[in-house]
């Protein structure tokens, strides 16, 4: 892969993909509204729902592969703006897959553990998926349509990701700041995830592309934890009081999008391939 296009380069995963890209790869990053300053990538801003711009760009660059990490990625926003979610999460994703099929180049779509309803975890790739929010529904529609359009495409279902990005904010960065400054944080005792470090997930994505895989892959972490257990571990490793972590339940927080209880992923297929997400403890020891 000499020349790779990364969509969503201004997002959390985009930053992680830039940091882990194989050397000597010519990178082209597409962002939309948030300008990116990065050295190892050629940057361009446009809206991926504008198909003529997308087509022109792919035609001009003639990439060897496309990693599609752009999305409306917040479930609550998708629930409130389903049309916007459908445009970027489904239609733009399908269009990119169509172009990748036409050019016969590897295409990796970033999906989510939220395609599952959370009632039968841990989930393997072939398990039935019944999303309970618009974001999960749209990602599942995109997955199915992409694999119909282009069966050689890769669908990487990603878990909750942690890590400290430079540009964007995320729950992990916010919690770390709050804990270190003695502010309490609330965390669900009844919401389980197999979180993974964003850099490890990004390495997993490069691995799937380098190994010319296709189909659905789970890139979850190795540890199944509730958000509350996760926060308690963070407090411990940061040397902060565990009393700062206030347990809460999903029913106590009203949100537009329903939240599945347990979407832990069984990622043994990817582990066997060499995907190696670290444990949370290692992040703090490093």
Ligand X SMILES: NC(=O)c1ccc[n+]([C@@H]2O[C@H](COP(=O)([O-])OP(=O)(O)OC[C@H]3O[C@@H](n4cnc5c(N)ncnc54)[C@H](OP(=O)(O)O)[C@@H]3O)[C@@H](O)[C@H]2O)c1
Residues that bind ligand X (CB under 6 A): 8-14, 30-34, 47-49, 69-73, 88, 110, 112, 158, 160-161, 168
CB contact at 8 A, 20 and 203: yes
**Widest distance between CA atoms in the chain:** 56
CB contact at 8 A, 17 and 9: yes
What is the total residue count of the chain?
286
Cβ closest to ligand X, residue 9 vs residue 149: 9
Q: Point out the residue whose Cβ comes nearest to ligand X.
A: 11
Taking the complex as a whole, the smallest distance from the CB of residue 69 to ligand X amounts, in Å, to 4
Cis peptide before 278 (omega within 30 of 0): no
Cβ closest to ligand X, residue 171 vs residue 237: 171
User: Tokens representing 164?
Assistant: 């400290």
Taking the complex as a whole, the smallest distance from the CB of residue 95 to ligand X amounts, in Å, to 11
Q: Distance between CA atoms of 185 and 199, rounded to whole angstroms?
A: 25
CB contact at 8 A, 220 and 159: yes
Cβ closest to ligand X, residue 75 vs residue 239: 75
Taking the complex as a whole, the smallest distance from the CB of residue 164 to ligand X amounts, in Å, to 13
Cβ closest to ligand X, residue 8 vs residue 118: 8
Taking the complex as a whole, the smallest distance from the CB of residue 239 to ligand X amounts, in Å, to 26
User: Tokens representing 24?
Assistant: 């000597």
Cβ closest to ligand X, residue 89 vs residue 213: 89
Taking the complex as a whole, the smallest distance from the CB of residue 17 to ligand X amounts, in Å, to 9
């Amino acid at each position: 892969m000499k020349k790779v296009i990364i969509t969503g380069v201004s997002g959390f995963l985009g930053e992680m993909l830039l940091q882990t890209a194989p050397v000597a790869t010519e990178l082209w990053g597409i962002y939309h509204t948030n300008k990116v300053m990065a050295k190892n990538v050629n940057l361009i801003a446009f809206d991926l729902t504008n198909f003529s711009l997308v087509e022109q760009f792919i035609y001009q660059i003639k990439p060897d592969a496309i990693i599609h990490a752009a999305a409306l990625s917040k479930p609550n926003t998708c629930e409130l703006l389903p049309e916007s979610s459908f445009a970027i999460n489904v239609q733009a994703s399908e269009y990119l897959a169509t172009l990748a099929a036409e050019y016969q180049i590897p295409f990796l779509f970033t999906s989510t553990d939220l395609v599952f309803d959370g009632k039968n975890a841990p989930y393997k790739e072939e398990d039935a998926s019944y999303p309970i929010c618009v974001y999960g529904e749209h990602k599942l529609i995109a997955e199915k349509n992409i694999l119909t359009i282009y069966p050689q495409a890769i669908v990487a279902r990603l878990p909750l990701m942690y890590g400290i990005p430079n540009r964007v904010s995320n729950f992990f960065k916010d919690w770390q700041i709050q804990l270190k400054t003695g502010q309490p944080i609330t965390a669900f005792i009844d919401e389980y995830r197999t979180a993974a470090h964003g850099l490890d997930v990004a390495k997993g994505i490069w691995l799937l592309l380098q190994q010319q895989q296709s189909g659905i892959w789970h890139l979850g972490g190795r540890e199944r934890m509730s958000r509350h257990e996760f926060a308690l571990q963070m407090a411990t490793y940061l040397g902060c009081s565990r009393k700062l972590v206030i347990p809460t339940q999903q029913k106590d927080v009203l949100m537009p999008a329903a939240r599945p209880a347990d979407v832990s992923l069984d990622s043994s297929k990817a582990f066997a391939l060499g995907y190696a997400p670290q444990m949370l403890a290692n992040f703090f020891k490093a």
